[in-house]
Amino acid sequence: MKPDSYYITTPIYYVNDRPHIGHAYTTVLADVLARCQRLFGHDTWFLTGTDEHGQKVQEAAAKLGIDPQLHADNTVVRFQEAWKRLGIRNDDFIRTTQPRHKAIVQEILQDLYDRGEVYRDEYDGWYCVPCERFFTEKDLVNGNCPDCGRPVQRVREANYFFKMSQYQDWLVEYIQSHPGFIQPDFRRNETLGFLRKPLQDLCISRPKSRLSWGIELPFDKDYVTYVWFDALVNYISAIGYRRDDAAFARWWPAIHLIGKDILTTHTVYWPCMLKAMGLPMPRTVFAHGWWMMGSAKMSKSLGNVVNPMDLMERYGVDPFRYFLMAEMVLGQDASFTEEAFIRRYNADLANDLGNLLNRVVSMVGKYCGGRLPAPQAGAFVAGPAAELFKQVAEAAAGLKASVEHFTLSAGIAQVIEAVRATNRFLETQQPWTQARAADPGPLHTTLYAAAESLRVCAGLLMPLMPGKMAELRAALGMENAMTVNPEELTKSEVLNPGVPVAAPGALFPRIEAPVPEAGEKPAPAAEAKAEKKAPPPGTIGNPEGIITYDDFAKVQLRTAKIMSAEAIEGAVKLLKLSVLMGEERRQIVAGIALYYKPEELIGKTVVVVSNLAPIKLRGVESQGMLLAASKGERLRLVTVDGDLSSGAVVK
């Protein structure tokens, strides 16, 4: 493989399955990594596909009374349509029933047989029909399949075997001397642990008397190829092995993304097969974790599999893709809940990224006639704008490193932190104050710098959310909004001053209320309201001091940053505060003068009741109320734990 080329694969998915969140995660991850490599200027090829042979396909087709090939043709569209709706941009989709694949499998088998790598022998052991695998007695767990836990069958028959055992010592040495081959590290240790036991030869055939749906052995017409030997070959048959030497040399070796449940086949069977063929090993086999519902893995048998189509319909494709990538630390398991989705969506996308775009566009419209202003000369060499862009450029470098080291969620977090830094930059520079100055230079520099930061952050997030980020970049006046050149990610002053800037509407509308679980229909409005119960005898309405959820829901709490504070003449306890909620300035009168000096309050982010009707205190209008806690002689304002932009909704 050329140094600047990148070949990435997903497992090929069993055609009898329906796409669920596990399939969606692996495929979106591969798509995002491939798009990132293209973003950074690397020649990239992305392969996915379907595994279409085996006993389960044959049995399903028999139940329907149709040919197995027709059954595969009917069911493969589930994956093809799902990937299209998920925005997957794969370069190839391979099916193991395609002639281009079957011919290569047969040629490999014939070559291995001719060289004595494959032999015929009697087999007496345990067979799991759902997994289509043989196991020895010691492999079984409580007499059942060690993989799926279901009963196994005793089978005695003649079969063909690949001499996998002769490669055990070589494989152990290779794994130990190539630490990047199996990732994460603990999966490498898992494979090495498996290899501490004597490695058995691999049965690579099934008699047609028991299973006819498979690739026929070229040297024995009474047998078909074991589905796992057949399936693994897809990674090389798809890129020209034995057909196009130049294409194969261009792309191989690959980076394989897999789920941790197929670690052994990809880190033991596959390397031994490649070694016997005389081919280089894959660059990396990366095994990611599972999506969990609570403490249980999502599985069809447990009935807790989340359908990605339901989530896309509810939230949109781009936010769903973003959540999958940002939420799971690569290699670890992750817990899926809709509450977690809403929390991350509102925090990262609605409050931070979407709010930043709205602020920039709104202020360019208000102060610059809707056209992007030009920055002051040298603004990106030194000063606040230069410091901001330095952090944005560091985020670009961080994302690139995270892709190379399979720490994608950390790289995404760094980009979102650059977005938050831009929001802080606006609060510090105060363009609403700069707009009152005679010299428009500082104002123009501030707004241009914020737009530049948005441009780069949107470019970095394009692999995750191609549709939404194209909208964002178009809102900044970029003509080719979908195209991101690698050099523009670290280059400043790319946006053209004078271009019209226009808001695309709410890019990420905030999700204000929980939604029904996947598969449930929202209750009609009349039924959704809680049933009202008669009050207990002797009370009017609710018991004293008790309010309903509906009562509490009327109160709107938001964060606000205190910009100025001063005493009110003649009032001992009152201070007049000017606070910033998002882009809105308000005046609040608070009875905290005995506990805080005005200068102590500047810069604090506090919590405000934002929908309180204005009142006058000592003749001064108050447009809200601060939240505070008191005990005895002490009083402390309710503030936010950690950095959070003003205007955020408190829930």
Asked if residue 434 belongs to a domain, the reply is yes
End-to-end C-alpha distance for the chain, whole angstroms: 52
Asked if residue 501 belongs to a domain, the reply is no
pLDDT for res 542: 47
pLDDT for res 3: 67
Together in a domain, 344 and 476: yes
> Looking at residue 451, which CATH number applies to its domain?
1.10.730.10
Asked if residue 560 belongs to a domain, the reply is yes
Asked if residue 8 belongs to a domain, the reply is no
Closest listed residue to residue 484, CA positions, set 512, 513, 462:
462
Together in a domain, 480 and 562: no
Model confidence at 545: pLDDT above 70:
no
Q: Which two tokens stand for residue 329?
A: 């630390």
Asked if residue 190 belongs to a domain, the reply is no
Counting residues of the chain whose pLDDT is more than 70, the rounded percentage is 89
d(CA 106, CA 230): 9
Together in a domain, 481 and 581: no
Q: Which residues sit opposite 120 in a β-bridge?
A: 160
d(CA 165, CA 179): 22
- φ, ψ of residue 435 to 5 degrees: the values are -65, -20
Closest listed residue to residue 345, CA positions, set 549, 513, 475, 482:
513
Model confidence at 12: pLDDT above 90:
yes
**What is the chain's alpha carbon radius of gyration, rounded to the nearest angstrom?**
31
Together in a domain, 349 and 426: yes
**Residue 83: how many other CB atoms lie within 10 Å:** 21
Report residue 350 CA to chain centroid gap. 17
Model confidence at 293: pLDDT above 70:
no
The mean pLDDT value for 279-284 works out to: 98
Q: Which residues contact 50 (CB under 8 A, 6 or more apart)?
A: 12, 13, 14, 15, 72, 76, 79, 93, 94, 95, 96
Together in a domain, 476 and 563: no
Q: Which pLDDT tens digit goes with each residue over 560-569?
A: 888 888 888 7
The band of 220, judged by pLDDT with boundaries at 50, 70 and 90, is very high
Together in a domain, 378 and 472: yes
Asked if residue 1 belongs to a domain, the reply is no
Q: Which two tokens stand for residue 125?
A: 């052991």
d(CA 339, CA 347): 12
- φ, ψ of residue 608 to 5 degrees: the values are -125, 140
Together in a domain, 348 and 482: yes
Together in a domain, 473 and 568: no
Q: Which residues sit opposite 640 in a β-bridge?
A: none
- Packing angle of the helix pair 317-327, 408-429 (nearest 10 deg): 110
Which DSSP string corresponds to 105-165? HHHHHHHHHHTTSEEEEEEEEEEETTTTEEE-GGG-BTTB-TTT--B-EEEEEEEEEE-GG
Together in a domain, 473 and 580: no
Last residue of a domain, one of 447, 469, 489: 489
Model confidence at 448: pLDDT above 70:
yes
pLDDT for res 2: 61
Model confidence at 307: pLDDT above 70:
no
Model confidence, pTM: 0.77
Last residue of a domain, one of 450, 471, 489: 489
Q: Which residues contact 59 (CB under 8 A, 6 or more apart)?
A: none
Together in a domain, 355 and 471: yes
> Looking at residue 556, which CATH number applies to its domain?
2.40.50.140
Last residue of a domain, one of 472, 489, 506: 489
Considering 16-30, 164-178, 296-310, the range whose residues carry the highest mean pLDDT is 164-178
pLDDT for res 232: 98
- Where in the sequence is the domain holding 397, given as residue range(s)? 337-489
Closest listed residue to residue 47, CA positions, set 349, 253, 223:
253
Q: Which pLDDT tens digit goes with each residue over 500-531?
A: 998 778 899 998 755 444 444 443 333 333 33
Asked if residue 564 belongs to a domain, the reply is yes
Asked if residue 193 belongs to a domain, the reply is no
pLDDT for res 531: 37
Together in a domain, 481 and 562: no
Task: Domain count for the chain, please give it.
Answer: 2
Together in a domain, 342 and 485: yes
pLDDT for res 300: 56
